[in-house]
Amino acid sequence: MPTTIAPAELRADIDNFYAWHMQLLDAGRVEEWADAFTPDGVFDAQGHPEPVRGRDEIRSASRTVADKLAEAGIVRRHWLSMSHIVPEGATVRVRSYALVFQSGKEKGTVLHASTTCEDVLVPDGGSWLIRERVVRVDGTA
């Protein structure tokens, strides 16, 4: 099975990064969550007709979603795992699976979507910034 094995420090770094990143999103702290993108970062989620370009646009798009969920009393949990980590020079390409669970008083907890998430990460001091994110929803192709 020829593959690029990420060393232990990188693996831990990446796992730490996504844990905090997704918890910020689910806590409605979307401004801090959006700070993890580069100023010219691109977020290509399947739900949008066009990729969202730039940290400011990503921030305001996610604020809209967060406000709607909060108004509807819905909590989302983004589980990201199974990350395949491929260093490419100073950047890192990470292909992960992500599940979205949704909880509310009426419907209880349901599995909302199964997706793949491909990120290009660039180093930023002791952490990472997302230069490009491509999310694809399973079962819709």
Neighbouring CB atoms inside 10 A of 78's CB total 18
Choice between 42 and 94, CB closer to a second copy: 94
Asked if residue 84 lies in contact with residue 28, where contact means CB atoms within 8 angstroms, the answer is no
Q: Is 73 helix (H, G, I), strand (E, B) or coil?
A: coil
| 72 touches a second copy by CB under 8 A | no
CB closer to a second copy, 50 vs 139: 139
5 secondary structure, DSSP code: P
Question: Which residue do the tokens 């395949």 mark?
Answer: 84
The count of residues in the chain is 141
| Residue 139 is a binding residue for a second copy (CB under 8 A) | yes
Nearer to a second copy (CB atom), residue 40 or residue 138: 138
The footprint of a second copy (CB under 8 A) covers 1, 3, 5-13, 15-24, 32, 35-36, 75, 77-85, 95-97, 99, 101, 103-105, 107-111, 113-114, 126-127, 138-140
